[in-house]
Amino acid sequence: MRLGAKLLTLRILICDDSAMARKHLQRNLPKNWQAEVHFAVHGLDALAQIDTQPFDLLFLDLNMPELDGYGVLQRLQHNAQAPKVIVCSADIQQEALRRVLALGALAFLKKPSQPEQILELLQSHGLYQTGTLSPQTHIDVDYDDALREICNVAMGKAGASIAQVLGTFVDLPIPRVRRLNKGEMSMILAPSMSDPDLQVISQGFIGDGISGEALLMLQDGSYSSMGQLMGINDVSSKQARLEIQMDTANILFASFLTGLAEQLHVPFTQSHPVVLSELPNEHFDEQTLAVEISYRLAEHQIVCDLLLLFPYASLPRLERNIKYLVG
């Protein structure tokens, strides 16, 4: 702690690769908290700042480039000047919670966190003292960053659902946002659609000016391990493999789209998942906004790819909703 005029000022470090997440967390901190806020954009950045100046509390994301939150927690175990750590993450698997607490984290906050949750947590750990929060830093958030963070939260919800059903830990990636033309989309889907042993599962969704399509692809070597986790021992038949993929799609699509709808404040009507027999050309002739997520169950050599497609016609409404969330 640092001695101010009459109060002890806590030095706070918020570490998250998402500008939207940093802005959201800063906005939800108590405005009358005697604290000084600083920012880091990934794990290595946070460690470098901690090595050169004292901090009392670190709000730490888990899923980051360069060095993730688990890596930061491991390194801080060997640092005598390490701040207290509150993990703030979209990865809400019970195993994730167990791991971060075992690595020394003080507590876990589920994204998106709420002001009353943060205040209650600070008070319960003796970290809150009335004063002034400073500085209120302006943080610019671009469209892709905001969409990536929204999908990150939805991804965490879906990951926790599949982890609970399968009884295993799911490694969550950083969602990739990009724009695809028709040819690029064909290049991504063609290998799976041309292989008779693989299937692409598709589910459409629509709500209040935003529509899209969610696609699921399992890598070929994943069927045997996924079948064992689901209690399907013989995966040699096409029907068994389809059953595995349909069950996986039902879990991931429902959880992911629910998480997306909650954040965008748009209730989605969802079609039934079906096997995609041809490239989704009808609504995707122009530039398509794509979000790519690759779920990995490392202990079982399972890779499951989720591709979220927004057609050009949905982009204006999607952008308006995201701008409202960014504030």
pLDDT for position 98: 97
Q: What is the mean pLDDT of residues 104-128?
A: 96
> What is each CA distance from 210 to 157, 216, 313, in whole angstroms?
21, 20, 8
The torsion angle over the Cα atoms of residues 255, 256, 257 and 260, rounded to 10 degrees, is 120
pLDDT for position 221: 82
What's the pLDDT band for 39 if we cut at 50, 70, 90? very high
- Over 70: is that where the pLDDT of 260 sits? yes
pLDDT for position 279: 64
pLDDT for position 283: 56
pTM of the model: 0.91
DSSP string, 171-237: B----EEEEE-HHHHHHHHHHHHH-TT--EEEEEEEETTEEEEEEEEE-GGGHHHHHHHHT-----S
Q: Which residues pair with 218 in a beta bridge?
A: 304
Q: What is the mean pLDDT of residues 156-162?
A: 95
Q: Check if the beta carbon of residue 281 is closer than 8 Å to that of residue 291.
A: no
The Cβ-side half-sphere exposure at 78, using a 13 Å CA radius, reads 5
Separation between Cα atoms, residue 234 and residue 237, nearest integer Å: 8
SS3 100: helix
Task: List, in order of start, the domains of the chain with CATH numbers.
Answer: 2-134 (3.40.50.2300), 143-326 (3.40.1550.10)
Q: Give Cα 18 to chain centroid, integer Å.
A: 10
DSSP state of 4: -
pLDDT for position 185: 81
> What is each CA distance from 60 to 88, 137, 138, 291, in whole angstroms?
6, 18, 20, 24
pLDDT for position 26: 96
pLDDT for position 2: 47
What's the pLDDT band for 3 if we cut at 50, 70, 90? very low
Q: Are strands 200-207 and 274-275 parallel, antiparallel or unpaired?
A: antiparallel
**123: Cβ contacts below 8 Å, ≥ 6 apart:** none
Nearest to 180 by CA among 287, 260, 326: 287
Interior/surface letters 253-263, b for 16+ CB within 10 angstroms, e for the rest: bbbbbbbbbeb
What's the pLDDT band for 295 if we cut at 50, 70, 90? very high
- 169-225 per-position pLDDT tens digit: 999 999 999 998 888 887 887 777 777 667 789 999 999 999 999 999 888 788 999
Separation between Cα atoms, residue 282 and residue 317, nearest integer Å: 20
Q: Check if the beta carbon of residue 209 is closer than 8 Å to that of residue 314.
A: yes
Least confident of 7-21, 159-173, 214-228, 255-269: 214-228
